[in-house]
Amino acid sequence: MIKIVFVDPTGKQHAVEASAGQSLMQVAVDALVPGIEASCGGNCICATCHCHVDPQWYGRLAPPDVLEQDMLACTNEVQPTSRLSCQVPLTEALDGLIVHIAASQH
C-alpha cells in the first residue's frame, strides 16, 4: 500500500492508503478528503481537483502535460508545485507523498 497525506488549509492531516495505478484524485475522493471535488471525474477539464504537492515530493512526479498546464493556469492559487490530482498516477515510489489542498478549494 501507498500512504498519502493530504493536508487541508487548517493544517489538519488526512492520511489515506492507496494502491499503485490509482490517481491521486481518486484516492482523495474515495477517502472523502475535503476540497477535492473532481467534478469532471478526472477528465482534466474542471480543475476542481487542484492541489499543491509538497515541494520535497514535486520533483518525483512526472511533469504535467500541456492540457494540465493550461487548466492549472485557470485556477486560483497556482503555485510552482500545483497539480491537478486527477493527472497524478500513484506508484510505490510515491509512498509517503504529502499533498496540500488549496484554500480556494474549500
Q: Interface residues with ligand FES (CB under 6 A)?
A: 25, 38, 40, 42-49, 71, 84, 86
Q: How far is the CB of 75 from ligand FES (least distance, A)?
A: 9
How far is 18 from 21, CA to CA, in rounded Å? 9
| Least spacing, CB of residue 92 vs ligand FES, in Å | 23
- By beta carbon distance, the residue nearest ligand FES is 86
The rounded distance, in Å, linking the Cα atoms of 87 and 22 is 10
At its nearest, how many Å lie between ligand FES and the CB of residue 87?
7
- Considering the complex, state which of residue 56 and residue 106 has its C-beta at the smaller distance from ligand FES: 106
Cell output for 20: 499503485
Q: Among 26, 77, 47, 20, which Cα is nearest to 6's?
A: 26
Per-residue cell: 8: 487541508
Looking at beta carbons only, is 1 or 30 nearer to ligand FES?
30
CB nearer to ligand FES: give 11 or 106.
106
Q: How far is 4 from 66, CA to CA, in rounded Å?
A: 26
